[in-house]
A = this chain, B = another copy of it.
Amino acid sequence: MVTLYDVARQAGVSIATVSRVLHGQEPVRETTRARVRAAIEELGYVPDGAAQSLARNRKDVIGLVCVEHTGLKPNQYDIESMSLLFYDEVMRGVEARIRELSWSLLITFLREDENSGTTLAADGPVQSRLHILSGKVDGLLIGEGVVPSSVITQLAKRVPLVVLAGDMAQRGVDVVAADNWSGAHALVEHLVTGHGRRRLFHVDGPSTAPDAASRRLAMRAVIDAHPGTVLTGSFCGRFTVHSGQEAAERLLAETRAAGRPLPDAIVCANDQMAIGMVRTLTGRGIRIPEEVAVVGFDDIFPASLTEPPLTTVHQPMRKIGERGCDRLIERITNPSLRPRVELLPAELVLRSSCGCPPGTVTRRQVTRAMTNDKITER
């Protein structure tokens, strides 16, 4: 390994001078500078990042902890695995910011199942990996969903940290997330006031999923605000295409058995389930949106390819990465900042599964005016 000393010897100067040349600091004679440059070039010197970090007391590295969805066939892209793209977008947002600073980005994937069973263990594999990681970075960006919030709160005491996405208000920790509530609210509002749908069916996510919760609340809010609007029923799915299909089967069976008509609209907690719903319904000859509207959430890529194309809500993942990174850097710079929750506007994407005319593609940012406290109280 070539060190500063080697370069200094080769150039006939002291290590301080080499360091100065390396960082373009001023008081170095032009001839000396040239000599040092030549030595660096000749020896192929690369400054050791660890030593620099130690001396400068900062690493110029931030860590991003992503959620890795499990149960996917490797090497094969399908509709389920499209959700993978979320964190890839976040990552690109973060990287774009990081790059401007000449910092670096450390990535870790945490598998959804990795923490099951060890949630409460103070020293599970997840904790251990996060611990090692936090020693290598100046700050951490953590995707919500895998790490229990108690662990996050604990971790935040030791290292600057920002929680990304998700929907839970982490008390005392910075959060940057999409405004899921407003997205879902605008979506359902559109069905009700835009297309006169009154009898709604809900395909919900798992009760444990925090994002599903706020979507559910938003739907409730719209229904309550419009007399005459009712929730005719709901199904609790697992966010998969298959769940959506199950939901459809169940819905059809139940309405027929009871001799009731179909609902006017079906609101699904994510696009995968909406796609499953659309497939099964159209397979049974039911016309969408004429007989029933179907909407999803997330705007994954295949949502634009269904027949009819799916009306949904796009999540600003890249922006979440960017803003999360900005926030983290603020916090690193000024650790005494009061933690805040920042919600980014979601984007309502109107295609035609909601009843809008075929060929429609309208995008509209939606969010609500609010203060921190309103949000954290939610």
* Interface residues in chain A, defined as those with a beta carbon under 8 Å from any beta carbon in chain B: 44, 46-54, 59, 61, 63, 68, 74-75, 77-78, 82, 84-85, 88-89, 91-92, 95, 99, 102, 104-109, 129, 131-137, 157-159, 299-302, 305, 314, 316-319, 347
Of all chain B residues, the one with the shortest Cβ separation from A50 is B53
B133 and A104 contacting across the interface, CB-CB below 8 Å: yes
Q: Is the CB of A135 within 8 A of B305?
A: no
Whether A77 touches B68, Cβ cut-off 8 Å, given contacts A46-B131, A105-B106, is no
Contacts of A314 in B (CB 8 A): 75
**Copy number of this protein in the oligomer?**
2
Q: Distance in Å from the Cβ of A344 to the closest Cβ of chain B?
A: 11
Q: Do B135 and A301 touch across chains, with their CB atoms under 8 A apart?
A: no
- CB contacts (< 8 Å) of A159 on chain B: these are 46
In the assembled complex, the Cα of A77 lies from the Cα of B305 at a distance in Å of 11
Given contacts A44-B157, A46-B158, contact A102 B301 (CB under 8 A): no
Query: Which of A44, A54, A317 has the largest number of chain B CB atoms within 10 A?
Result: A54
B318 touches A77 (CB 8 A): no
Contact partners of A105 in chain B: CB under 8 A: 106-108
With CB as the reference atom, state the residue of chain B lying closest to A347: B75
- Least distance between A188 CB and chain B CB atoms (Å): 23
Q: Are B77 and A95 in contact (CB under 8 A)?
A: no
* A135 & B102 in contact (Cβ 8 Å cutoff): no
State the 4 A-B residue pairs at the shortest beta-carbon distance, nearest first: A50-B53, A49-B136, A77-B301, A49-B135
Q: Is the CB of B50 within 8 A of A75?
A: no
- Say whether B50 contacts A300, CB under 8 Å: no
Q: Are B158 and A75 in contact (CB under 8 A)?
A: no
CA of A82 to CA of B77 in the docked complex: distance in angstroms? Answer: 10
Knowing A46-B134, A107-B107, A305-B305 touch, does A318 contact B74 (C-beta < 8 A)? yes
* Chain B residues positioned under 8 Å from A108 (CB to CB): 95, 99, 104-105
| Min CB–CB distance A30 → chain B (angstroms) | 17
13 extra A-B contacts, CB within 8 A, seeds A61-B136, A75-B89, A104-B106 = A44-B157, A46-B135, A49-B50, A49-B135, A49-B136, A50-B59, A75-B316, A75-B347, A78-B301, A85-B88, A102-B129, A105-B106, A302-B305
- B134 and A109 form a contact (CB under 8 A): no
- Are B46 and A68 in contact, CB atoms less than 8 angstroms apart? no
- Neighbouring B residues of A301 by C-beta, 8 Å: 77-78, 82, 301-302
Q: How far is the CB of A369 from chain B (nearest CB, A)?
A: 23
Per the bound structure, the CA–CA distance linking A132 and B75 in Å amounts to: 32
Q: Among the interface residues A51, A99, A136, which one has the most CB atoms of the partner chain B within 10 A?
A: A136
- The reply to whether A50 and B44 contact each other, CB–CB distance below 8 Å, is no
Residue of B nearest to A59 (CB): B50
Known contacts A53-B50, A54-B48, A54-B54; decide if A102 and B68 are in contact (CB<8 Å): no
Give the CA-CA distance A141 to B88 in the complex, in Å: 18
Min CB–CB distance A321 → chain B (angstroms):
11
Nearest B residue (CB) for A74: B318
Closest to A102 in B: B132
